[in-house]
């Protein structure tokens, strides 16, 4: 079968289309025929070496498709079931393995494309808004990268929870998409100061929480956006990792909270995984949550997908279609 692998870390030129054997599921695993694979920044971090992986490595963690084989002891799924997982082993391939404990069954009304767009980014948006800083009516939030896959979903969920939301985006087109998702205000950071925009939005108070997937480039400005005892949620580093800083800066800026969460710790149990996925699938099926699939690429063009994502040329979700 075809798979996109790296044999050494580096740029997109390190990605290769390899012919490899179809994997056999072990105990507690299923194999699925991948109908859609999500392209995420974590894939680029693994490819570049920021997040080291054992080589050679088949990229991709997020996939949806149809079960083609089950491993020993698996009773939760059977061949033919439609499933999705954010813990897929080698999603950039025609077939891939996934642990049963981190795999969910797709209900009617949820396509495999939408599922692949939700398993990592959707559940990230869910835990950020519902748990990391549990938004409630009257709260104000700043969402960086408001037209990205997580940003559009996070904005919608924040509005469902009664919060006021200001987002940052890079272009007028992205601003329009962010407003469609429910943002109360949008700052085009390429031509205006987002800390000043936040100050105007909040009457000088600052937001209760910032959800920041940008990292290095937005760090200092984000600190200036928070109210006293506000929370800085750093959940990504698309511009590079946040530089080392002294905890004293948090006290100087208003006794701020800083956290760096990851989905793994918000889906520790199968019950928690199913609860989050269930909320997302129910909202999508009811039309209460809109999934924007911005761009799709054939499997062989995975390098182009990485170029588009890293170049901030995408909106919504980027998918590979094997």
Domain coordinates of the chain in residue numbers?
2-119+292-321, 124-263
Q: Kindly report the pTM of this predicted structure.
A: 0.90
Q: Is the pLDDT of residue 316 over 90?
A: no
CATH superfamily label, 124-263: NAD(P)-binding Rossmann-like Domain (3.40.50.720)
| 239 band by pLDDT with thresholds 50, 70 and 90 | confident
Q: For 210-226, what is the mean pLDDT?
A: 95
CATH of region 2-119+292-321: 3.90.180.10
Euclidean distance between CA atoms 99 and 308, whole angstroms:
30
Q: What is the mean pLDDT of the chain?
A: 96
Q: For 192-214, what is the mean pLDDT?
A: 97
Which percentage of the chain shows pLDDT scores above 70?
100
Query: Which tens digit of pLDDT belongs to each residue from 266-296?
Result: 999 999 999 999 999 999 999 999 999 989 9
| 208 band by pLDDT with thresholds 50, 70 and 90 | very high
Euclidean distance between CA atoms 192 and 249, whole angstroms:
25
Hey, what are 319's tokens?
């998918």
Q: Is the pLDDT of residue 109 over 90?
A: no
DSSP, res 193: -
pLDDT at residue 160, rounded to an integer: 97
Name the strands in the sheet holding 257-259, side by side, starting at the edge strand that comes first in the sequence.
185-188, 164-169, 140-143, 207-212, 226-234, 257-259
Euclidean distance between CA atoms 11 and 252, whole angstroms:
39
pLDDT at residue 231, rounded to an integer: 98
pLDDT at residue 294, rounded to an integer: 87
Instruction: Return all residues near 311 (Cβ < 8 A) that are at least 6 apart.
Output: none
Query: Which tens digit of pLDDT belongs to each residue from 125-144?
Result: 999 999 999 999 999 999 99
Hey, what are 306's tokens?
């990485």
pLDDT at residue 27, rounded to an integer: 97
Q: Are strands 140-143 and 164-169 parallel, antiparallel or unpaired?
A: parallel
Q: For 82-91, what is the mean pLDDT?
A: 96
């Amino acid at each position: 079968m075809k798979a996109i692998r790296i044999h050494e870390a580096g740029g997109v030129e390190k990605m290769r289309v390899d012919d490899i054997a179809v994997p056999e599921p072990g105990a507690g695993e299923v194999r699925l025929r991948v109908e859609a694979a999500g392209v995420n920044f974590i894939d680029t971090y693994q490819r570049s070496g920021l997040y080291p992986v054992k080589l050679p490595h088949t990229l991709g963690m997020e996939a949806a498709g149809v079960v083609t084989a089950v491993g020993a002891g698996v009773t939760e799924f059977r061949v033919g079931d439609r499933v999705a997982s954010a813990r897929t082993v080698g999603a950039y391939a025609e077939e891939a393995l996934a642990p049963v404990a981190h795999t969910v069954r797709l209900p009617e009304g949820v396509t495999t494309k939408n599922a692949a767009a939700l398993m990592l980014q959707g559940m990230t948006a869910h835990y950020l808004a519902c748990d990391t800083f549990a938004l409630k009516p009257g709260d104000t939030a700043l969402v960086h990268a408001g037209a990205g896959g997580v940003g559009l979903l996070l904005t919608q969920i924040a509005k469902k929870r009664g919060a006021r939301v200001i987002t940052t985006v890079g272009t007028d087109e992205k601003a329009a998409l962010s407003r469609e998702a429910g943002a109360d205000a949008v700052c085009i950071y390429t031509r205006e100061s987002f800390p000043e925009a936040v100050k105007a939005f909040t009457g000088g108070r600052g937001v209760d929480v910032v959800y920041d997937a940008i990292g290095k480039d937005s760090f200092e400005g984000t600190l200036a956006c928070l109210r006293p005892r506000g929370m800085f949620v750093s959940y990504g580093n698309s511009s590079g990792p946040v530089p080392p800083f002294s905890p004293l800066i948090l006290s100087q800026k208003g006794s701020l909270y800083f956290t760096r969460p990851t989905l793994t710790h918000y889906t520790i149990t199968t019950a928690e995984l199913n609860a989050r996925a269930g909320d997302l699938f129910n909202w999508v099926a009811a039309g209460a949550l809109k999934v924007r699939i911005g761009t799709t690429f054939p499997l062989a063009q995975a390098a182009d997908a990485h170029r588009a994502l890293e170049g901030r040329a995408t909106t919504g979700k980027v998918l590979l279609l094997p």
